[in-house]
């Protein structure tokens, strides 16, 4: 299966010619060209959810509103209806009170959360869990503690249970938050394929390669795996059209195979 993580830059940003209404078609085209099976979004507002749901009608969706009256389907997950059955789904806030909607802790500048879906591959019957998130963009203590919550959550499952973690982590491989994720059992798909976790920056501010001279950060958009998942390919998607880009981030992809047998107790579930 091919998985994409896509920070699509929020609808409400004042981006002029790069505002969502001017690039939504390009964004959809770039994603469609990858023929993904699962698409994980960050910075998705309700208007973007509506637009992309319309152009990907073969996909089921899951998202959670970040704040009690916020209304935006944050960290939306799209997955092919014909390929997967959803067994369960949920989410939690990346805070000291993860069950409290809209909560934030430490030095987090924004409310942050993680969504997850538990899917069954219709062709093989194998199950896996996918988590989509977006760590804070300013607070280092927040990022480190948010990473610890992601590790604690994943550790509730057997060590060989297939799991995937996607998201904009807002930091590259040198940051302690990434070290915490890796020490907690998460493996970077790009590094597994290419032997390096730093292919260069993925945030580019709508400037593409012209941003390189100013960039001090490497890849901040990640796809991790843990458990019985084999990585076949991984890439940074740098597609553009006449100098225009689908977002201020490059999208990132990974092609993986979920291995192993069905989890204990599956046969007894009605």
**By CB neighbour count within 10 A (0-12 exposed, 13-18 middle, 19+ buried), where does 161 fall?**
middle
CA distance 16 to 22: 9
pTM (predicted TM-score):
0.94
Whether 260 has a pLDDT exceeding 90, the answer reads: no
CA distance 269 to 172: 41
Whether 73 has a pLDDT exceeding 70, the answer reads: yes
- Please write the tens of the pLDDT for every residue from 195-218: 988 899 999 999 999 887 666 789
Task: Set out the domains of the chain in order of their start, with CATH numbers.
Answer: 2-268 (3.60.10.10)
User: Where is average pLDDT lowest: 62-66, 133-137, 245-249, 257-261?
Assistant: 257-261
CA distance 203 to 219: 8
Contact present, 33 and 239 (Cβ < 8 Å)? yes
CA distance 41 to 72: 12
The strand order across the sheet containing 163-168 reads 84-93, 113-121, 127-134, 163-168, 221-226, 187-188
- Please write the tens of the pLDDT for every residue from 1-25: 999 999 999 999 999 999 999 999 9
Mean local confidence (pLDDT), 178-186: 98
User: Where is average pLDDT lowest: 21-25, 69-73, 100-104, 223-227?
Assistant: 69-73
């Amino acid at each position: 299966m091919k998985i994409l993580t896509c920070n699509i830059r929020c609808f409400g940003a004042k981006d002029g010619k790069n505002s969502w209404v001017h690039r939504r078609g390009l964004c959809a085209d770039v994603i469609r060209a990858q023929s993904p099976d699962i698409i994980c979004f960050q910075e998705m507002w309700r208007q973007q959810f509506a637009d992309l749901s319309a152009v990907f009608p073969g996909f089921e969706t899951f998202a959670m509103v970040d704040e009690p009256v916020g209304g935006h389907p944050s960290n939306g997950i799209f997955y092919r209806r014909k390929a997967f059955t959803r067994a369960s789904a949920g989410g939690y806030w990346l805070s000291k009170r993860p069950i409290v909607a809209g909560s934030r802790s430490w030095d987090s500048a924004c409310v942050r959360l993680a969504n997850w879906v538990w899917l069954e591959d219709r062709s093989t019957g194998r199950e896996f869990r996918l988590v989509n998130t977006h760590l804070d963009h300013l607070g280092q203590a927040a990022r480190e503690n948010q990473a610890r919550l992601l590790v604690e959550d994943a550790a509730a499952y057997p060590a060989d249970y297939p799991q995937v973690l996607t998201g904009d982590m807002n930091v590259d491989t040198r940051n302690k938050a990434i070290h915490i994720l890796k020490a907690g059992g998460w493996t970077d798909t790009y590094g597994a394929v290419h032997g390096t976790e730093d292919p260069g920056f993925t945030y580019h501010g709508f400037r593409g390669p012209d941003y390189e001279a100013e960039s001090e950060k490497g890849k901040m958009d990640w796809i991790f795996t843990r458990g019985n998942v084999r990585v076949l390919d991984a890439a940074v998607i740098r597609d553009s059209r006449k100098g225009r880009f689908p977002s201020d981030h490059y999208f990132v992809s990974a092609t993986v195979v979920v291995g192993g047998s069905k989890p204990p107790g599956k046969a007894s579930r009605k």
